[in-house]
Amino acid sequence: RRSSDLTLIGVIMFARSSAVVFQPQWGQVRNMATLKEITRRLKSIKNIQKITKSMKMVAAAKYTKAERSLKPARVYGTGALALYEKAEIKAPEDKKKHLLVGVSSDRGLCGAIHSSVAKTIKTEIAALSKSGKEVMIVGVGDKLRGILQRTHGDHILLTFKEVGRKPPTFGDASIIATELLNSGYEFDQGSVIFNRFKSVISYKTEDKPIFSLDTVSGSESISVYDDIDADVLRNYQEFTLANIIFYTLKESTTSEQSARMTAMDNASKNASEMIDKLTLTFNRTRQAVITKELIEIISGAAAL
Q: State pLDDT tens for residues 104-158.
A: 999 999 999 999 999 999 999 999 999 999 999 999 999 999 999 989 999 999 9
Higher-pLDDT residue of 230 and 280 is 280
Higher-pLDDT residue of 49 and 19 is 49
Average pLDDT over residues 199-213: 92
CA distance 42 to 49: 10
SS3 258: helix
The pLDDT-based confidence of 17 (bands split at 50, 70, 90) is very low
CA distance 277 to 273: 6
The pLDDT-based confidence of 212 (bands split at 50, 70, 90) is confident
Torsion angle defined by CA atoms of residues 227, 230, 235 and 241, in that order, rounded to the nearest 10 degrees: 100
pLDDT per residue over 162-198, tens digit each? 887 889 999 999 999 999 999 989 898 999 999 999 9
SS3 8: helix
Look at residue 206 in the predicted model and tell me its pLDDT.
95
| Average model confidence (pLDDT) across the chain | 85
Taking the complete model, does pTM exceed 0.85, yes or no? no
Look at residue 32 in the predicted model and tell me its pLDDT.
57
Surface-to-core class of residue 69, CB atoms within 10 Å of its CB (0-12 exposed, 13-18 middle, 19+ buried): middle
CA distance 3 to 140: 95
CA distance 174 to 9: 97
Higher-pLDDT residue of 15 and 63 is 63
Look at residue 80 in the predicted model and tell me its pLDDT.
83
Terminal C-alpha separation, the chain: 23
Average pLDDT over residues 259-273: 95
Look at residue 22 in the predicted model and tell me its pLDDT.
40
* Best CA proximity match to 236, nearest among 208, 252, 216, 257: 216
CA distance 37 to 281: 11
CA distance 73 to 103: 16
What is the separation of C-alpha 197 from the centre of its chain, rounded to a whole number of angstroms?
15
Look at residue 274 in the predicted model and tell me its pLDDT.
95
For residue 91, pLDDT over 70 is answered with yes
